[in-house]
Each structure stands twice: as structure tokens, then as C-alpha cells.
Structure 1
Amino acid sequence: MSNRDQFASKIGFILAAAGSAIGLGAIWKFPYMAGTNGGSVFILLFILCTLVIGLPILVAEFMIGRRGKSDAVTSFKKQAPGKPWFLTGWMGFIFSAIILSFYSVVGGWILSYLIRSVSFRLSSNEKDFFANLFTDLTMNTWEVIIAQGAFLLIIILIISSGIQNGVEKASKWMMPLLFIFFVILAIRSLTLDGAMDGVKFMFVPDWSYLTGKTFLLALGQAFFSLSVGVAAMLTYASYLKKEVNLGSSALNVAWMNIGISILAGLVIFPAVFALGFTPNQGPGLVFIIIPAVFQQIPFGSIFVIFFFILLLFATITSAIAMLEIVVATAMGDKYNQRKKFAWICGIGIFIIGIPSALSFGILSDVKIFGRSIFDFADFVTSSIGMPIGALLVAIFAGYQLKRAEQMEELPVKPWIFNIWRILVRYVAPIAIIIVFIQGFRN
């Protein structure tokens, strides 16, 4: 086990774990979900659900991962020998590969937009320019495939370098830069005339939106934005030293996720309201609205470069975690063959993702249960794989691990430990089942 890589520092681990959690979910999906579900009420429920539901499961994944000191499959085998719990690890392996297969498509879109912004080709006075640009890009067969491959190449090179030299180093400079960029963009957005309407939308509650549906959507957003359920955090924690406090690390990750989500709202909503757009634009909020918004701002062509750099960073940090799960599981104890497995797994995921990349173009007529290939891959992971995975993690940590084993990994005050135990054994599983059922209804 001495040949196995480790995180060199607690802060390196926290930033890597936060990077896994803070991806397109926090920056792209959170503003979109808040924009279509009443703003402030959704945000309040999201924060509550993150701390009460997502956090206990995050601690559970950390606990299982550090105790196992191995890939997800082996970790479950070690802690529950002779029982089928190891299948939870294989689920994480499969669903992480599927997630990265379509996630890398979006990463490719971001690369394409970044190249256009850097070359100052992301501006026009035509009304529908940005909507048409997004459509043309996603229908361009060779551009989407090449961009997807380029994005995955970046991830493969980082993973090939290992935990300390690859994942940890990348996270240590990407995450602080991400925060800095967001603060700059938020300040720029908040100084626009009429920006306060966006601030009110985010922080002055409209209680008519306090409904069961809003609660379920906020719960789902909190749950998925923390990356729990696909063994990402479990795998990262397997590289963690014994002296690192799991509880405080998980709390830091949760707060960083909330902070970036709120900052994303402060970047987008004041600008959207100030310039007469509406907040319920879905994916267009990033790829159509934001370039249009920045075009109407002084030095907007510079700020839009910052925005897509930031979005690329966030996407890369999440993608690193997804590929690390796949590589760690495939590699097993062959630690000296990390580079080989990184390339094999990365190329395999690239091939699997090609149909998703083409599902807006030449494969747009191909439907699986009424969904495009891209949407089906998203649905099968977000609405099926992640809830089942997180439910199994909660049950394993709450019931399979003995109380003494739990306390050994979570040495906190007895009342804090008891709260965590109640949440992970009862509250979180029930909430996950509700989200799971809601996913099928949608």
C-alpha cells in the first residue's frame, strides 16, 4: 500500500473535492434552476438541503473511502467481505464513465466558445446571433467531436500525473482562480444600472414558490451538486491521510459549493435583469444569454473571456473526479501503470461520448425512450444512477459500519455524531427516495 499516491495536504484534498462538486451543476444548472423556481425561496431550500441531506452523505463517502484506502470496488470488498456491496463500486465506475461521456461534450462546447471569445469572434449586433451560434456549433459534426476530444485530452494529462502532481496541483490553482474570477464578474454585474432587481430576485423571498415541487427540485440540486452517489468523493477520500478531519473537510466542501452557487447567481441574475432578459432560459443562460449580456457591458469582450475560462475550470475539476474514479477502479493496485490506464479509459470514454456529441446534429432523430442520446445519458445517471448510489452509501455507512468504526472516522462531540447518524440512517435515505421517485415523474 506504500506505493499508493496520497494527497499531500488537507487543503489540497478539500480543494480537489470541492472542485469535483463545483462543476456545471453549480455554475450552469443552479442559476437556471433558481431562475425558473422563484429565486430566493429555491436558494434558501437549496442551502438547507445541502447541509441537512447532502452533507451527511458526503461524510459517509469520505468515511468509506478513507477506511478502504483503495478504489471503490476494493473498498467495499474490504469492509464487507463476502457481501455484494462491492457492486456499489462498480455502479460508480459505470455511471462515472457515462457522466463523463456527455459531460466532455459540454466541456468541448465551452472550449469552442473560449476560442471564439479569445479571438474576439463572440460578438455581433444581430438579434439572434448567439442563439444561432449555439445551434450551429452543436450541429457541427467535426467541431463538436474535436472539441470533445481536446477537452478529454486535458483531463487525461492531469490524471496521468497522479494525485499530488496532477489532481492536487491542478485543484490548488484552479479553485482559487475560480473564486477570484467569480468575484470580479459579480462586482461587474452588480455595478450595472438596474442590477438590484436581480439581487432582490435572489434574496427577497416570494413565498408563493414555497411548494412541495420547489422543495424537491432544491433537494435534487443540492444532492447532485455535491457529486455524491458515483463514488467520486469516496475515491478522493481513499487518498486521504488518517489525521485529516472528515467532518470539517466535508463541511468546507459543502460551504464552498454553496458559495460558488450564490456567486454564480450574483454574476448572472443582476446582469440578466439589468439588461432586460428573463432568468428562465435553461442552457441558453450560459451559452446564449451571457455572451449577449457581456456584449452590452464596457470591456465585455474581456469579461466574457474570463467567464468561459472560469466555466472551463469548473468543468475540468468535476471531470477530473469522474475520470479518476474510472482509472482508479480499472487500475486496481497497479499504481505504476496509472498513465496507461488513464489513456485507455480516456479514449474509451471519448468513443462512448461521440453519440452524445452528435445527438444535436446528425443523430438528432435518434431517440431512446423519447429522449436524445445526450438527454438519455444525463437522465440515466442523474435520475437513476446517482440516487441509487447515494442511497446505498447511506445504508452502508449507517448500518453496515459498526458504531465504533463510525466514531473512529468521525471523532467529534457525541451530540454532533448522533445528529449525523440520525441523518444518514433515516433522513437522507427517505429524502433520496423522494428525489428518485420525482425523477421518474419528470
Structure 2
Amino acid sequence: MQQGSGGPHENWSSRLVFIMAAVGAAVGLGNLWKFPYTAGVNGGAAFVLVYLAAVAAVAVPVVIAELMIGRRGRMSPPNSFLALAREAGANPAWRFVGWMNLLAVFLILSFYSVIAGWALAYVPKLALGHFHQAAPDQVAAEFAALLGSPGTLALLHALFMALTVSIVAVGLKRGIERAVRFLMPSLLLMLIALVLYAAIEGDLARTLTFLFQADFSKINADVVLQAIGQAFFSVSVAMGLLITYGAYLGPDTRLGSSAVYIAGADTFVALLSGLAIFPLVFANALDPAEGPGLIFVTLPIAFGQMPAGALFGALFFVLVLVSALTSSIAILEPMVSWAEEHAWLKRGPAAMIAGALAWLVGLATVFSFNLWAGWFPLGRFERFRESTVFDLIDYFTSNLLLPLGGVLIAVFVGWVLSSDTARAEVGVDDGWWFRAWRFTLRYIAPLGVGWVLVTSLT
């Protein structure tokens, strides 16, 4: 056990389990459609190269910084920031960055659970052949009917939240570790099975051209900005997840190589997702640009037209559910970690209270698709003229809290903490690697994420 000033924490059983958990936190619903499509329409392999450069210059340095804050502070994000600020003789107000992290994960969990609940509904639908030979209008109407039922959405939201809480409530080793030891290998095996199925039954050749044919003529400032934003959001930085998971790391874990493995595995899973999804989309002459609708409208149409579509369609939605679950347990953990550090609240009740509150706030997202679909609270402002409550929560977290948190984390570790503290925690000599990391953290990462922040707000 590690002991921080707020209370004891368990340690990860091994570095491999930690990396699986961190990759599970990073791999979410967006990986399954957003990165492959963004790469395909923005130059294929050319975009992938720009994205990898953004990962190296922006994402990985901030991942290392978050893990360092967590392991050095050995507490939840607010308390770790406070402990390190005091150690550096800095203003204790830095702890409010940790509070921003907790606010972000709370709001994200509230709507993430709603969307993940949709996958719960679709697993039995696909397994029972509900979409066999279904017309596109029928599939779209089915999805619209689901969104139009607040009671069904609230129940699915509750079931997914309860599943998340049940894992986090029993602790790091008995809950989160056991879950990721089973879920992450299962996710990879399901993804590989779907890639093989798509290669046999779908249009693999067109997919390979779409994803990997390099077209450098499409690379411009906007595409570079998209690559930076995708790299930043894809590995789940600035949410406090990695600070919290870092608090459970032992002193022998190398932070630099761990960050590279996390970012690399996340990218690999995203590309595999593209190889699993787009052959089916192209083979059925469907639109790959549907966004979230790609999963819940376009793909059910494709599975309904293909051999063994019920089996592999159900498998796909189990995959969606698993990827959502590995993320949601990481999203809930920072809040539970903070509560656990206070003697008045144990882990189990803390998980249940946090989950219940997130479920209640999540009802605003549920109602945004039906009862409140025509209510636009900030409609007097042109930017938010047609933004529902869900749209506003999503905008506030994705466009403000997360990029601002990323900039502040980079500034805190790069400029507030001493180089001696950083070097001791990262565990390297004052060589080229350390100087390169510190340079990117001080200059490139905050400028890159700051560019994303300013652009998203203007």
C-alpha cells in the first residue's frame, strides 16, 4: 500500500496491468469511429504521420506529466496538486486544476453512461437478428425510437452506471484490475475477429486506400489542428484519470516508456477499429461520415445484409460496450479516490454516491434527446442557438475544461516544479531525453493544446 497524507492507496499488481488499465481508459467510443474517419478524409497515411508527431510532441509529454503528478503526490488530483505545489513553494491554488479534473470527469461520466447505454440495447437486437435485411429507413426509425423514449434511456443509463459502480466499489485489485485483466484481452480478441470478418465479407481494398494512401496535399493548418486535438483527446489527458492511476504506481515503473506504450496501443486499437468498420460500410455503399450514427444506424444496416451478421453484429456491440466500460471505470475512479482519502467516506459508498449523482445529472442528457429536445438554454447566443443541454455539457467539457486543464498541467510540471523534482520522479539522468521532454512540455505542448483551446472557443 502507498500512504499519502489523505489515506492509504493500493498499488498496481504489475506494470502490465497498469498499462492495460490506462489503455482501457484511453480506448473509448470515439476510437471506434472518429480517428479512422478523420484519418481517411484528411490524407490517410499523411494524416497518421502528422497525428503521430502530435502524439509525440503534445500527448506523450502531458501523459508523463500526469503520471508524475499522481505518483509524486500519491493522492487524488486535487490533493496531489496541493501536495506538489507546497513541495515547490508555489501557490496552493494550483489544487483547483485538480478540481477542474474532477468536475470534467463527473460531467463526462454523466453523459458517457447514457451513450454507452445505447450499446446495451443493441447487443440483444443484433444477436436476435432484429436488423436482418432491414431497410435503412427502418434502422434509422429504430434508433430514433430509442432516443425518443426517456424511460428506456434512463433505465439503460442506470444499468450501465450500476455496472461501472460495481467494479470500482470493490477496489483497485479486486475490482478494476480483475475487470481490465479480462476486458482488455477480450476487447483485442473481439476486434481481431471483427477485422478478419470484415476482410472476408467487406471491401478491404477500398478501406486500405481510404486509411493508408498518403495524400500530403490535404495537410494544412486545419488538419494539423485536428491531429493535435485528436492526439490530445484520444489518450484521455487532462481528466485526472492518469493522475489517479499514477498514484497507484510503484517507484520502479518507467513513466516515459509507459506513456509511449499507452499512446501507441491507443493508436493501434483506433486503426484496427477502422479496419473492422469501414470494409463493411464500403461493401454496402454506406456513408462513412455518419459520426456516432455510424455505429447505431449505418453498421446495423451493414450487419443486417451480411452472412453471420447477427453473430458479428452482436460481437461488435459487445466490443462497444467493453470499450465504454473500461473508460467509465477510469472516469469514476478519480472521484472515488478523492472521497476515499477522507475518513468520513469508504470506497463502496463513495462509488455509489458518485455514480448516483452522475446518473441524476445524466438525466439532462437523456431528456435532451426527447422531452427537452426543443429547449436551447443559451439560444440567445448565436453559437449556442440550437444547443441542447447535452450539447452544452459536451461543449463545456471538451472545449474548455479539458484543453485548459491540459495547458495548466503542462505549465505546472514544466515551469512550477523544479527540474530536480521532475528528473527524480521520471527516473532519468539530465540527458537528451529528459531535456527533450521538458522542452516539449514547457513550450510545444501548451502552445499546441492552447491552439486547440482558442480555436474551439472562437
Query: Corresponding residue for 2:52?
Result: 47
1:157 aligns with 2:155: no
- 69-78 or 204-213: which moved more? 204-213
Query: Corresponding residue for 2:381?
Result: none
Query: Corresponding residue for 1:233?
Result: 242
**Counterpart Cα distance in 2 of 1:309 and 1:101:** 21
Residue aligned with 1:84, SS? helix
Amino acid at match of 1:77: L
Q: CA deviation at 1:386?
A: 0.4
Divergent runs of 4+, >6 A: none
Corresponding residue pairs, total: 441
Residue aligned with 2:136, SS? coil
- 370-379 or 31-40: which moved more? 31-40
- 151-160 or 284-293: which moved more? 284-293
Cα deviations by residue, 1:250-296 (Å, 9 ceiling, x for unpaired): 11101110100110111112222222123211111111111111222
Equivalent residue runs for 1:123-138 within 5 Å: 123-138=132-147
Q: CA deviation at 1:29?
A: 2.4
Query: Corresponding residue for 1:207?
Result: 216
- 47-56 or 347-356: which moved more? 47-56
Do 1:159 and 1:342's aligned partners in 2 also have CA atoms closer than 8 Å? yes
Aligned match for 1:397, one of 395, 406, 413 = 413
Aligned match for 2:284, one of 266, 275, 285 = 275
1:105 aligns with 2:114: yes
Query: Corresponding residue for 1:363?
Result: 372
1:354 aligns with 2:363: yes
- The 1:148/1:128 distance shift into structure 2, 3 A limit, reads same
- Gaps (5+ residues) in structure 2? 379-383
Residue aligned with 2:93, SS? coil
1:372 aligns with 2:363: no
- 259-268 or 364-373: which moved more? 364-373
Amino acid at match of 2:443: Y
Amino acid at match of 1:149: A
- Gaps (5+ residues) in structure 1? none
1:84 aligns with 2:89: no
1:427 aligns with 2:444: yes
Equivalent residue runs for 1:276-355 within 5 Å: 276-334=285-343, 337-355=346-364
**Counterpart Cα distance in 2 of 1:41 and 1:168:** 37
Do 2:339 and 2:346's aligned partners in 1 also have CA atoms closer than 8 Å? no
Equivalent residue runs for 1:112-127 within 5 Å: 112-127=121-136
Query: Corresponding residue for 1:244?
Result: 253
Q: What is the Cα-based RMSD across aligned positions, in Å?
A: 1.6
- 405-414 or 388-397: which moved more? 405-414
- The 1:193/1:285 distance shift into structure 2, 3 A limit, reads closer
- The 1:356/1:336 distance shift into structure 2, 3 A limit, reads closer
Do 2:100 and 2:401's aligned partners in 1 also have CA atoms closer than 8 Å? yes
Aligned match for 2:433, one of 416, 434, 437 = 416
Q: CA deviation at 1:336?
A: 7.3
Aligned match for 2:177, one of 168, 187, 206 = 168
- 289-298 or 65-74: which moved more? 289-298
**Counterpart Cα distance in 2 of 1:193 and 1:259:** 20
**Counterpart Cα distance in 2 of 1:153 and 1:394:** 34
Cα deviations by residue, 1:371-411 (Å, 9 ceiling, x for unpaired): 11112111111111100111111011111111111111222
Percent identity reads 34
Q: What TM-score results when the alignment is normalised by the length of structure 1?
A: 0.96
Amino acid at match of 2:83: K
Query: Corresponding residue for 1:31?
Result: 36
Query: Corresponding residue for 2:25?
Result: 20
Do 1:198 and 1:272's aligned partners in 2 also have CA atoms closer than 8 Å? no
Cα deviations by residue, 1:14-49 (Å, 9 ceiling, x for unpaired): 111111111112113223433554444333322221
Query: Corresponding residue for 1:438?
Result: 455
Do 1:181 and 1:306's aligned partners in 2 also have CA atoms closer than 8 Å? yes
Query: Corresponding residue for 2:152?
Result: 143
Residue aligned with 1:123, SS? coil
Q: CA deviation at 1:310?
A: 0.7
Residue aligned with 2:411, SS? helix
Amino acid at match of 1:373: V
